[in-house]
């Protein structure tokens, strides 16, 4: 047990474990010290100088985010000296920041803007050099604006934590800036599109490449039949963009809100999460029985797939051949649904609402192109609803449209780390043993970086592992290659915590991100929905039964492979 340290912060007695930073100690007594470069579990470098405080025993002001507490220390967080220093730091940052607040996506939700207002800053006190760097528009999923960057390095820390390292500081002194090696574009770099840099950025220097205008055009085109479908995790996060508590399930209101935008149908992507499980569980059992390539990795996360293609091409045969639920739904709509409803696929405009930016990249993969016409993030959907004057919180709950409405709880928990694994285990176990009653697999739940378990079903031991965050995926791959670990089935999600913490989710103020356990709260909403669903296994969904009966015949059939499966290709850029 750590030794306890007694100190005072703004004359308030505080007792915290030894090694605690002043910033953390202050938050324990609800004193918020401003920060720009600090982000809990991501970045802590003390470079922005916004958290400077006065502390006994220190020479001058110290950075609260990195300075440890000491016995008997007295800290003052809001003296005139502190405030003056912070204001000067902000005005220096503003001198080389493109001040386009009226047309910036982060307006009203920008940490630099908020602090500048709070400290009554003069944005023109210091005159900087003209800002004239071109936007990096090379990637179909993210836009980088160097002239809005404040060099806080949070995006760099997030990318490094993902074991990707696509961006970093370039140059020295006044000319230092964030970019990719040799000033290459993001698309030329090793970026996998996870978007964790976007949610880490405190300003508008990084944002998703929006396709909202394309959606508005399609909605206004009488020749187009527009359909929306929403990913499992969106219902647990969209409410945050409308000031609802983290983890509020707004499924019914979300459907009602999207319907008021004017599409012909609003469908539930949980359906193709169920379909993914049917295909994936069947593929896993076929590999086990036929001594195929093992272990098998999930392939529903496009950032993870791109990571493998770039960094570990020798592991491509281990990826499931299943498409992601997004691309399965696009393929299902433009084949089965169009045929059934007499619709020309060219007249159908498919919009997916997704929690991550890598799904935007996925739509542009040659083997997927044309299945989903526009992928918009949770943030983009929120902006569309606000532009249309739709008040989500005041709407009644409405249900998804048939025939893609009724899903299993297994499809819903896809949005949380371990959810894909648990949903697959529910079905695979029943396929092996028709009398297998267990539907809850708590060992693979939770936000631990890596989880592992072994299940014995019908005399077969199935060794599984779950990892979220690409650095943890890297650990598992290293352990597999060295022979340190052996598994049969592995779930990987690129974003820490899974899709609930995706790069396209609502951008929350630092005060919330640094205090709330977003991953757990958001995941809890999905597991609660699963618990209340009478259908717990994907195989129990009447929609899935109908789809196979009317179109695919059986999981892993030839027709299923044509529409629901794909191939992956090595990318030698590393």
**Could you list the active site residues?**
280, 283, 300, 320, 359, 362, 367, 499
- CA angle at 51 for the pair 46 and 57, rounded to the nearest 5°: 85
Task: Identify which of 178, 182, 183 has the alpha carbon closest to the alpha carbon of residue 201.
Answer: 178
Distances (CA, A) of 221 to 86, 225, 345, 369, 551: 51, 8, 15, 21, 30
| Helix H or strand E segment including 130 | none
Q: Would strands 460-468 and 450-457 be described as parallel, antiparallel, or unpaired?
A: antiparallel
Q: How many CA atoms lie within 13 A of 75 on its CB side?
A: 30
CA distance 500 to 491: 15
Among left, alpha and beta (phi > 0; psi -120 to 50; other), residue 456 is beta
Q: Is the peptide bond before 361 cis (omega within 30 degrees of 0)?
A: no
Q: How far apart are CA 230 and CA 271, in angstroms?
A: 10
- C-alpha angle with apex 156: 516 to 189, nearest 5 degrees? 130
Dist. CA 256–CA 235, nearest whole Å? 12
Contact partners, residue 122, CB within 8 Å, separation at least 6: 91
Contact present, 283 and 321 (Cβ < 8 Å): yes
Q: Cα Rg for the chain, rounded, in angstroms?
A: 25
Please check whether residue 297 is in contact with residue 315, taking contact to mean a CB–CB distance below 8 angstroms.
yes
Quick check: 54 and 81 in contact, CB under 8 A?
yes
Cα–chain center distance at 295: 25
Query: What does the DSSP 8-state code read for residue 548?
Result: I
Contacts of 378 (CB under 8 A, 6+ apart): 234, 237, 238, 241, 353, 354, 355, 502, 504, 505, 506
């Amino acid at each position: 047990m750590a030794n306890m340290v007694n100190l005072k912060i703004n004359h308030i007695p505080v007792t915290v474990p030894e090694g605690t930073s002043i910033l953390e100690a202050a938050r324990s007594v609800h004193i918020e010290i401003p920060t720009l470069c600090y982000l809990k579990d991501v970045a802590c470098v003390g470079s922005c100088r916004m958290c400077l405080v006065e502390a006994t025993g220190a020479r001058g002001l110290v950075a609260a985010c990195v300075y440890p507490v000491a016995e008997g220390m007295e800290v003052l967080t809001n003296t005139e000296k502190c405030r003056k220093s912070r204001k000067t730091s902000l005005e220096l940052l503003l001198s080389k920041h493109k001040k386009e607040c009226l047309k910036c996506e982060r307006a009203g939700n920008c940490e630099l803007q908020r602090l500048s207002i709070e400290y009554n800053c003069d944005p023109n006190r210091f005159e900087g050099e003209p800002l004239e760097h071109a936007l990096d528009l090379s990637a179909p999923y993210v836009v980088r604006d160097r002239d809005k960057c404040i060099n806080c390095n949070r995006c760099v820390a997030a990318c490094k934590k993902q074991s990707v390292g696509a961006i970093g500081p370039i140059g020295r002194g006044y000319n230092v800036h964030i970019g990719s090696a040799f000033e290459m574009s993001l698309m030329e770099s090793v970026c996998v599109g996870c978007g964790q840099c976007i949610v880490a950025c405190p300003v508008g220097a990084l944002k998703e490449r929006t396709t909202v205008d394309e959606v508005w055009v399609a909605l206004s085109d009488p020749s187009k039949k527009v359909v929306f479908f929403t990913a499992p995790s969106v219902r647990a996060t969209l409410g945050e963009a409308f000031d609802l508590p983290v983890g509020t399930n707004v499924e019914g209101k979300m459907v009602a809100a999207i319907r008021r935008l004017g599409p012909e149908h609003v469908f539930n992507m949980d359906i193709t999460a169920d379909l993914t499980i049917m295909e994936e569980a069947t593929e896993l059992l076929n590999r086990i029985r036929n001594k195929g390539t093992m272990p098998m990795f999930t392939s529903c996360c496009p950032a993870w797939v791109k990571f493998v293609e770039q960094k570990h091409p020798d592991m491509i045969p281990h990826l499931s051949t299943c498409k992601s639920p997004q691309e399965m739904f696009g393929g299902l709509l433009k084949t089965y649904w169009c045929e059934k409803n007499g619709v020309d696929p060219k007249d159908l405009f498919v919009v997916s609402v997704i929690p991550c930016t890598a799904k935007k990249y996925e739509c542009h993969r040659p083997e997927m192109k044309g299945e989903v016409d526009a992928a918009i993030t949770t943030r983009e959907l929120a902006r569309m609803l606000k532009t249309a004057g739709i008040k989500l919180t005041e709407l009644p709950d409405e249900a998804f449209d048939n025939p893609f409405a009724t899903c299993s709880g297994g499809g819903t928990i896809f949005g949380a780390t371990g959810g894909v694994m648990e949903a697959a285990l529910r079905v695979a176990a029943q396929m092996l043993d028709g009398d297998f009653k267990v539907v809850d697999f708590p060992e693979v739940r939770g936000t631990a970086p890596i989880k592992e378990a072994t299940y014995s079903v019908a005399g077969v031991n199935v060794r599984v592992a779950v990892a979220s965050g690409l650095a943890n995926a890297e650990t598992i791959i290293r352990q597999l290659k060295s022979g340190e670990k052996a598994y049969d089935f592995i779930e990987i999600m690129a974003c820490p915590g899974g899709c609930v913490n995706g790069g396209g989710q609502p951008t929350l103020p630092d005060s919330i991100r640094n205090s709330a356990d977003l991953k757990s709260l958001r995941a809890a909403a999905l597991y609660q929905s699963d618990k209340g669903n009478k259908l717990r296994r994907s195989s129990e969904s009447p929609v899935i039964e109908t789809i196979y009966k009317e179109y695919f015949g059986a999981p892993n059939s030839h027709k299923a492979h044509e529409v629901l499966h794909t191939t992956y290709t090595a990318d030698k850029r590393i």
